[in-house]
Amino acid sequence: MAIFVDKNTRVIVQGITGRDGSFHTQQMLNYGTKVVGGVTPGKGGTDIFGVPIYDTMEEAVKATKANTAMILVPPPFAVDAIYEAAESGVSLIICITEGVPAGDMVGVYNYLKMKGIRLIGPNCPGIISPGLSKVGILPAHIFKKGPIGVVSRSGTLTYEVVYNLSNKGLGQSTTIGIGGDPIIGTNFIDCLEAFEKDPATEGIVLIGEIGGSDEEDAAKFIKQNVTKPVVGFIAGQTAPPGKRMGHAGAIISGSSGLAADKIKALNAIGIPVAEIPSQIADLMATKLAEYQKKKAKKKITKKPVAKKIARKKTVKKTAPKKAAPKAIKKAASPKKVVKKTAKKKAGKKR
């Protein structure tokens, strides 16, 4: 399992014949993503890398039964491309394009919400569920299959973090770049909710940055709804106020959007926030080991409760005590190595 994209994802690339569109189509095909069609008005009837091209999304979806659209068209055409995708019947739209006007996104966001269609982005690197599907421009070779869900407002910083996670043996269930714009279709909360429900995800890395208050909102959501361990990182602690730091959404305006406030909000609910990117993997390894230990314990203690006899006090007390230690050992043993090395390294840094 994974979130949002998996083996059943069938993709149409809007702007498939463009420089970026064709390059990334090839990359996705190499990864095994089911790219079933492309759209470039005027080039319908031809094909590229064996992928059929259509003039419109409507034709493309009808012919291919695609359920996902990926948009790689220039900014002046992106908004129209999103609406066209929405009307074509796909349930997921991933907009990579950077430079989409925020005012238009206000309309797009509210329209898609009404229609129940998920949009990821714009201005995002896309999404990958390692071993299942990649829809986006992320460099596939750094990802490994595993239990960590990664959600981020950035692109290359995400790669940096994933690279560290993979090197430490922490593979990913899904990595999703939600985008660096002020108005984006899918936010932290949507991803946290999906990761919490996803059985393949056991830990979550949240990478935020200055601007807006999505990280603060995420902290509130985690407190009430997320039981899996979360580790955070916030970029832009040294960013000056009032300056747009590359991403349209990465700007401190007045006293809002500060990195310090976001870190505070996450720390306040017990989420460790790495000071530097290279600490993230170690923090996650520690948290994950704790979580897996707890989970194993719970599984065991639940058993006698499920039996109706467990109502009697004596049974309740003695049964789990006997059973628990063995089971914990079993469950925790495969992760022991990870935990040990993580602790060692953390110790070194101190």
Partner 1 sequence: MKIHEYQAKEIFGKFGLPIPKGEVVTSPEEARNLAVRYEKPVMVKAQVHVGGRGKAGGIKYCKDPDDAFFAAQEVLGMDIKGLIVKKILVTEAIDIKHEAYVGIILDRASKKNVFMVSPAGGIDIEQVAAETPEKIMKFAVDPLLGLHQFEALKLARFVYPDIKIARKAASILKKLYNAFIHSDASLAEINPLILDGENNLIALDAKINLDDNGLFKHPDLENYRDLDAEDPAEMEAKRNDLSFVKLDGNIGCCVNGAGLAMATMDLVKYFGGRPANFLDIGGSSSPEKVIAALRIILDDPNVGVILFNIFGGITRCDDVANGIVAAVEKLKPRVPIVVRLTGTNEEKGKEILQSLDFPATNSMDEVVKMAIKEVSPVA
**Candidates 85-93, 178-186, 299-307, 329-337; binding stretch for partner 1 (CB under 8 A):** 178-186
Q: Is 2 helix (H, G, I), strand (E, B) or coil?
A: coil
Residues 18-77 that bind partner 1 (CB under 8 A): 24, 75-76
Residue 119 touches partner 1, criterion: CB under 8 A? no
Which is the catalytic residue, given 134, 247, 262, 335?
A: 247
Output the CA–CA distances (angstroms, integers) from residue 167 to 31, 154, 172, 292, in the order listed: 20, 20, 12, 20
Asked about 24 being catalytic, the answer comes back as no
Amino acid identity at 334: P
* Two tokens, residue 168: 């430490």
Query: What's the CA gap between 337 and 335, in Å, rounded?
Result: 6
**Candidates 31-39, 48-56, 148-156, 300-308; binding stretch for partner 1 (CB under 8 A):** 148-156
Q: Give the residues across from 209 on adjacent strands.
A: 235
Which residue in 114, 306, 312, 334 binds partner 1 (CB under 8 A)? Answer: 114
Which residue in 182, 297, 343, 346 binds partner 1 (CB under 8 A)? Answer: 182
C-alpha 23: how far from its chain's center? Answer: 23
Which residue in 106, 260, 268, 305 binds partner 1 (CB under 8 A)? Answer: 106
Contact 153, 182 (CB under 8 A): no
- DSSP classification of residue 4: S
Closest CA to 208 of 226, 229, 188: 188
Residue 154 touches partner 1, criterion: CB under 8 A? yes
Which residue in 207, 281, 288, 342 binds partner 1 (CB under 8 A)? Answer: 207
Residue 138 touches partner 1, criterion: CB under 8 A? yes
DSSP string, 234-268: EE-TTPPTT---SSTT---BTTBS-HHHHHHHHHH
**Candidates 54-62, 191-199, 224-232, 246-254; binding stretch for partner 1 (CB under 8 A):** 246-254
Q: Is 119 helix (H, G, I), strand (E, B) or coil?
A: strand
Residue 267 touches partner 1, criterion: CB under 8 A? no
User: Which stretches of the chain bind partner 1, using CB under 8 A?
Assistant: 24, 75-76, 99-107, 109-111, 114, 125, 137-139, 141-142, 152-160, 163, 180-183, 207, 209-210, 212-214, 217, 233, 235-240, 243-250, 254, 275-278
Q: Which residues are catalytic?
A: 247
